[in-house]
Amino acid sequence: MRYKSQSVAYWYFAVAVALFGLQIVFGLLSATKYLGPDPLLYILPFDVTKMIHTNVLIVWVICGFMGATYWMVPDESRTELHSVKLAYIQLVIWVVMGVGTVVGYLFRYGTGNKLLEQPLPSKLAIVVAMLIFLYNIGMTIKKSGRFTTPEGVLLGGLGLAAVLYVPALLEYHNYTVSIFYRWWTIHLWVEGVWEMIQGGFLAYLLIRLSGADREVMEKWLYVIVGLVFIAGILGTAHHYYWVGVPAYWLPIGGVFSALEPVALVGMAMYAYYAMRRSGLAHPNKLALHWTVGSAVYTMFGAGLLGLAHTFPSVNKWTHGTLITAMHGHAAFYGAYAMIVMAMISYALPSFTRRPEEGTSMGYMAFWMQLAGMFGMTLSFATAGIGQVYLERIMGMGYLDAQLKIQVHFVMLIITASIFAVGVALFIIDFFRYPLRMEVRTDDPAPRPVPARPAAAVA
């Protein structure tokens, strides 16, 4: 840790990993309801557990983004954070909002707008927290007079994420209009500006961990951001197929959604190249695992699996089925959960006495999560294929079809349990070492990682 104010990031990470654990509890609870009978049917029905599962995901990932930004921006700008006090006030607002919203869901207090179920008071608290956050980061960069490309991409993504939350604050009485504008927030977050946030963190980690040339990393960032804007924005139309909008959205959504994986493939390529060049020379190999894992699993989950069912001719069968859950789980985990855990793994040795190279528990958490998520993805895929055939082709009723595919939910619960153990190990590994919060005055700049000779790279 080069600057004392970077220590605020630890508390954001601590809240994020705790909420990650809560999200997994409600995810497992939701999965078991597919098998029945459900003793909690009238206490915690599926719609409530799923709502908490998906909303806590958004809350902890954004909390992780905030913590990672509070770590990265002082390091990139080479200055202390503008206001540590504001950062802690923001965290308190965020925690109160998150806990209060979850408790409200237990009493059915929500808007019913999928993934944006937060009641208006919670949404206003989110706006206040985001404004404090953007002000604090903006003033930090302004004070330093140093503005790097990874910072620019990261700040652009965070700023646009805040702007794109505006449609979620409005109330629409027409269902089609509501669905239309809901995707301005949800799609343009997860398949647009959040990819800019991921790209900013990925570039920062690769520069620090692989000794990659900053100029090369910045050029890759420009390519990724360009592709995100071209494909991601117009690709929003692949959500519009079946909600009553004009027919011209059909080809637009199909073509531009197909281009979205190109940016993700580019991201995976530049991560792989950087790591090959460095020869994995950096001691923090656990952070390297999460960094490369994020790039590769994003290509698989968001890219290939998204492409597999986004074309109109395929999507007319798979839309709203478990195939969507297959793509959503793999994509969100690879792109956002893994990049947050990469930033945590990179920063944690500066906050605690955890060895820089990582621990056996940390590596076990990585591989168990990866294996569990891959198994969950296959479970959703096989269950979804069966569901599409039975419901959409054979015309079987929803509940009858669910009985036929229950065996796949047994596999889902087994693999989800493996994933949950991996998450538990990550949380334990995070909290088990005592804090030290030492500022390294003897290391004013990141240590360069020796690059491998050109012949070795080839």
The pLDDT value recorded for residue 455 is 40
Contact residues for 359 (Cβ-Cβ < 8 A; gap 6+): 286, 429
Q: What is the CATH number of domain 197-435?
A: 1.20.210.10
Q: Do the beta carbons of residue 195 and residue 224 sit within 8 Å?
A: yes
pLDDT average, residue stretch 216-224? 79
CA separation for the pair 308, 62 (Å, rounded): 28
The pLDDT value recorded for residue 444 is 42
Domain segments of the chain as ranges: 1-147, 197-435
The pLDDT value recorded for residue 231 is 82
**pLDDT band, residue 401 (cuts 50/70/90):** very high
CA separation for the pair 288, 133 (Å, rounded): 28
The pLDDT value recorded for residue 448 is 43
Q: Do the beta carbons of residue 278 and residue 211 sit within 8 Å?
A: yes
- The whole-chain average pLDDT of the chain stands at 89
What pairs with residue 435 in β-bridges?
352
Stretch among 174-183, 343-352, 369-378, 387-396 having the lowest mean pLDDT: 174-183
Stretch among 181-190, 256-265, 408-417 having the lowest mean pLDDT: 256-265
User: What's phi and psi for 48, nearest 5 deg?
Assistant: -75, -45
CA separation for the pair 299, 224 (Å, rounded): 13
The pLDDT value recorded for residue 280 is 63
pLDDT average, residue stretch 182-190? 90
Question: Hey, CA dihedral for 135, 138, 141, 143, is it positive or negative?
Answer: negative
Question: Hey, CA dihedral for 246, 323, 304, 203, is it positive or negative?
Answer: positive
Its pTM surpasses 0.95: no
The pLDDT value recorded for residue 426 is 98
The pLDDT value recorded for residue 385 is 96
**pLDDT band, residue 449 (cuts 50/70/90):** very low
Task: Give helix then strand counts, H and E, for the chain.
Answer: 20, 0
Percentage with pLDDT > 90 across the chain: 60
The pLDDT value recorded for residue 279 is 64
Percentage with pLDDT > 70 across the chain: 94
Which residues in 236-326 belong to E strands, given as ranges? none
Q: What is the SS3 assignment for 354?
A: coil
**Statement: residue 137 has pLDDT above 60:** yes
